Structure 1
Amino acid sequence: MSGPEAASTRRGRRSTSEDEVLLDRELADLPQELRWREWMLRVEAVIFASAEPVGRETLVRVVGKDCSIDLLINNLREELRGRPYEIVFVASGWQHRTHSRFAVPIRASQASTRRAAPALSDFEAMVLMAIAYFQPITRGDLSKIFGREISRDTIASLRNANFLASGPRSPTPGAPYTYVTTKQFLTAFGMDTLRELPDIEALEDAGLLSRKTVAAEATEPATEGEEE
């Protein structure tokens, strides 16, 4: 990189570094009440501006070292009571979210929205759910769960939505690829960790998923052409 573009990049890096140095995090010259208020506004601004959930380490960069992030977030949540949006903890970070009951009027407005999750077909959603529970899992084992071939197009659709990533190769014959869910999956479905998935026993009782099918058939040779 050279010329004006390189100069612009250097200026951008220098500006970011200068901001970090000049930012008064402690605000020791302010009364306690005003200091806390400024910290609240900073944290809310960072969360609002971010396209992804904001982690604790990121927020610590803009507040004093003795500031309680959890207490500050709780105060912000109290202030947002009665508003159509809230601050939620998903995928190991905080994010602004509109309440689900406003989803219909938002869609009806046809306004361009931020962080809109890609629309999935019912079958794609079911495949994604199976991957979430049984990951890392191969396409062949997914096909056994559903009793039909899971096409590469289905996997590609979920990958394009940034819900899936490649996992380790399976130790079964042929060493096929496995798939795992991503941080974006947690964010889109409002979860902090996979432990928040619904109880799998209830899904098995409903006949939607079967761990026995996977356990019994996972050691069979990989389906021809499964490797991607």
Structure 2
Amino acid sequence: MNLNDPVELAKLLEALLLAHNQPLTIERIVALFEEDEKLTTNQIKAALTALAESCQGRAYELKEVASGYRLQVHSSFSPWVSRLWEEKPQRYSRALLETLALVAYRQPVTRGEIEDIRGVAVNSQIIKTLQERDWIRVVGYKDVPGKPAMLATTKAFLDYFNLKSLEELPTLSSIKPVQEELPVLVDELTMALEQQPALTEPVIKQEQEKSFKELLDEWDDLEEGVKTDFSDLIVVKPEIPE
């Protein structure tokens, strides 16, 4: 095999992505080659471009998400492919989906701030479930009395909703539209999650991850401003007894 040929290399990358059940980064792909097969990042990118072009008109596509590149069934086939899985997807409560939406759009956000927007207390089990699902994580602690934990979304959240980065999220102009549009968002999320089959590990990963843009395309009052840099957060280290 001529690894210097982008078309030949694209076939090899297709095999690697088909064999792996998780996205692969360019760095991870480069590391798979021996010293005498040494490839550059640009060669891998050129091969990925060739692979994406070869997928045009096929039932699957090359998709870049937060964790890297993956091959997945095209979303247009999702209604039929989902019938292969008899197990119903997990149901999530309206309160959990509201909490997830607020973390996604107001991050980093504290539990108290979520409660202020929703107008009701957030059950601890909701936060625990979202953390176990690896959709949210603690990114720091707010510099106010009590040092409340600040929550933000994870790479797994971006992967699940077919997003490369937070910049791809539609953004909101203020807290008020969030309160007004929250019921619409939750209805859209609920419908999408109910249509998704149970998690599996097919050779070509089924596209059960709906685009977050598709779920929120009816939202109004959008503007730029999603926070993606958490370097200004204050992290409180636990005190070690002497």
**2:58 counterpart SS class:** coil
Cα deviations across residues 192-221 of structure 1 (Å, max 9, x unaligned)?
Answer: 1111111213985472369xxxxxxxxxxx
Give runs of aligned pairs for residues 80-159 of structure 1, distance below 5 A.
80-110=55-85, 120-159=92-131
Per-residue deviation at 1:65? 2.4
1:31–1:138 Cα change, 3 Å = closer
Structure having greater relative contact order (Cα 8 Å, sep ≥ 6): 2
| Contact 1:124 1:154 (8 Å CA) reproduced | yes
Deviation at 1:91, TM superposition (A): 0.2
Q: TM-score, normalised by structure 2?
A: 0.63
Q: Is the helix fraction higher in 1 or 2?
A: 1
The alignment status of 1:201 with 2:173, answered yes or no, reads yes
Mapped partners of 1:132, 1:152: distance in 2 = 18
Is 1:76 the counterpart of 2:51 in the alignment? yes
**Residues 134-178 of structure 1: CA deviation (Å, up to 9, x unaligned):** 222111111111111111111112112110112212212111222
**Greater Rg over alpha carbons, structure:** 1
The amino acid across from 1:167 in the alignment is: V
What SS does the corresponding residue of 1:162 show, helix, strand or coil? Answer: coil
CA distance in structure 1 between the aligned counterparts of 2:6 and 2:165, rounded to whole angstroms: 30
Q: What secondary structure sits across from 1:167 in the alignment? A: strand
**Fraction of identical pairs, as percent:** 27
The answer as to 2:18 corresponding to 1:43 is no
What one-letter code is carried by the residue in structure 1 that aligns with 2:140? P
Gaps of 5+ in 1: 1-26, 211-228
Q: CA RMSD in A?
A: 2.9
Residue 175 to residue 189, structure 1, CA distance change in 2 (3 Å): same
